[in-house]
Amino acid sequence: MKNKKDGYLELVDPKPLINTFAPWLLGILYTLYNYHLFNLWLSIEMLIASAFLQLALNLNDDFWDNRRSEALGIDDPQNPINTYDLSKKVVLSLILSFLAISMVFAFAIGFQTNLIIWLVGIFCYSVAIGYSTGRHSISGTPFGEGLSGIAMGFGIFFVTAFLNINHVLPLDWNFTWKAILASGVGVACTFNLLLANNICDAQPDIEHGRHTIVSYLGVKNSCWLMAIVYLAGYIASIFATIVGCIPWTVLIIEFLLLPYLIKQVRFIFQKQSKQISFIKILNTNILLSFGQILGLVIWLLV
């Protein structure tokens, strides 16, 4: 008999926390580089809020996948809820508990900053909760990648960066457009991670009634979209370096990683496998994220 504790751990799946940690740390390093400012407590609050939201989303994704599969009469042996025969009530309780912890810290952040951060937070939580929840979730539409890319790739970076300067500098367009450029690769990575997942799940998604962007563009055109999005992220980094909001060390590392990135994107053109292709894109995004972090750390230390 399988250990249910292992099932719940697999369901929580802490690995995607990298999608939260990387833009959070980049936001801190970005403000240190540009403004020489750091707010320890607000940064910790932001990390806790983002991390518990990510954990809630991991659970929520499998919870609603299980419900939709049952409604369609489809057995999903890869879902830990089925594999370990987990209690749906316990899973739902964990989702609500993690979400409550996240929202407590998010409200605290809002009270310590301003209305705009409240609005950004409401948008991010709406996308996060709506991504998997319900029969017609955002993840089953052509807008999942774009909304998630903005909410996670840009939202976490932007809010973290602002929290570190809010007591000294205003939140204005001059701050915002530079943050948009600096987060370009991060947005591209988040967008393409979800796109890679949908490319590899193209046929199962159709069987489950999910009409992602891949079902409209087709697999090959979706692979081309992935390449274009990565290119857009690199172009944003070039402009960010030109205007001086990220150091040239970041751009150098990004270009050193370019041959590896091209190799992995070419692979997904040839083979769309959840076990191989998707993992390659995931590893590529991790390298790009930590390459940016390394570039900022090198500049700050030197």
For 241-253, what is each residue's pLDDT tens digit?
A: 999 999 999 999 9
Going from the C-alpha of 283 to that of each of 152, 175, 196, 197, 239, the distances in angstroms are: 18, 31, 12, 13, 25
Query: How far, in Å, CA of 150 to CA of 157, rounded?
Result: 10
Per-residue pLDDT for 1 more than 70?
no
CATH of domain 4-301: 1.10.600
> Which pLDDT band, with edges at 50, 70 and 90, does 2 fall under?
low
Query: How far, in Å, CA of 106 to CA of 229, rounded?
Result: 30
Q: Which two tokens stand for residue 275?
A: 């076990």
CB 227 within 8 A of CB 265: yes
What number is the average pLDDT over the span 179-189? 95
Per-residue pLDDT for 209 more than 80?
no
- pLDDT tens per residue across span 33-55: 999 999 999 999 999 999 999 99
Q: What does the domain layout of the chain look like in residue ranges?
A: 4-301
Other C-beta atoms within 10 Å of 98: how many? 21
Model's pTM, two decimal places?
0.92
Query: How far, in Å, CA of 181 to CA of 173, rounded?
Result: 12
Query: How far, in Å, CA of 112 to CA of 279, rounded?
Result: 39
